[in-house]
Copies of this chain bind each other. A is one copy, B any other.
């Protein structure tokens, strides 16, 4: 690590933020769950050593984030187990357990295939075909076709027209890329993959959701099986 590595991110100046941090700690330390009651404002003020006004600011923030429910005269109650909105990025990074990613991918992409089959436009079909063409060319030239593979799945995602699922896909894009690379290095794998992609595209073109789901599932299970055999023969 060199000189300017990490600036001290400036002091967390606002008091209410520190209060929120302490509340989070307390919740996890005490093992509180959804529905449990937090200490009263007066008690928190005394134990944390700040004024009630600051405690209240912190609690109001937690309230607007939906993490806590305030009952006038009745106390403050948890609405979640963690009290931590915890950024997804760090979690995905920490939880890069592969089988989890593969299961998640199957959950997301089979649904995407289903929706794509129902909603695809002519433009979507054109993009799917373009991706397949590109894949054929790459493979014929002896390449793995990773780029085209990604392009194809991105086109399916676009055709599904669901921003939320698209966002979830983005969040595991990194791990998918890894597993794609692994998978495509198996002998004859690119050619087999091309066939599976064509089957998916065909189902979407014919607007056949069930077949699209089946084709996508078959494709993903092939990918994951290879992956498991290569990396985790003993896994669960």
Q: How far is the CA of A64 from the CA of B164 in the complex (A)?
A: 23
Stretch at the interface among A39-47, A96-104, A121-129, A198-206: A96-104
Closest to A95 in B: B163
Closest to A150 in B: B34
Q: SS class of chain A's interface: helix, strand, loop or mixed?
A: helix
Q: Is the CB of B167 within 8 A of A88?
A: yes
Residues of B within 8 A of A61 (CB): 60-61, 64
Residues 30 to 51 of chain A near chain B (Cβ within 8 Å): 34-35
Question: Can you report 22 A-B residue pairs in the complex whose CB atoms are below 8 A from each other?
Answer: A35-B147, A53-B53, A53-B56, A64-B64, A64-B65, A66-B174, A80-B173, A88-B167, A92-B164, A95-B163, A95-B167, A97-B164, A99-B162, A100-B163, A103-B111, A103-B162, A103-B165, A104-B168, A107-B107, A107-B110, A107-B111, A107-B165
Does A149 sit at the interface, judged by CB under 8 A?
A: no
A128-160 near B? 1/0 per residue, CB < 8 Å: 000000000000000000010010000000000
Residues of B within 8 A of A66 (CB): 174
Residues 16 to 37 of chain A near chain B (Cβ within 8 Å): 16, 34-35
Closest to A84 in B: B170
Does A228 sit at the interface, judged by CB under 8 A?
A: no
Distance (Å) between the CB of A143 and the closest chain B CB?
14
Given contacts A34-B150, A100-B163, list 9 more A-B pairs with CB under 8 A. Answer: A56-B57, A64-B65, A91-B163, A103-B162, A104-B111, A104-B165, A106-B111, A107-B110, A168-B168
Q: Is the CB of A13 within 8 A of B111?
A: no
Q: Is the CB of A100 within 8 A of B64?
A: no
Q: How far is the CA of A147 from the CA of B147 in the complex (A)?
A: 46
Residues of B within 8 A of A115 (CB): 103
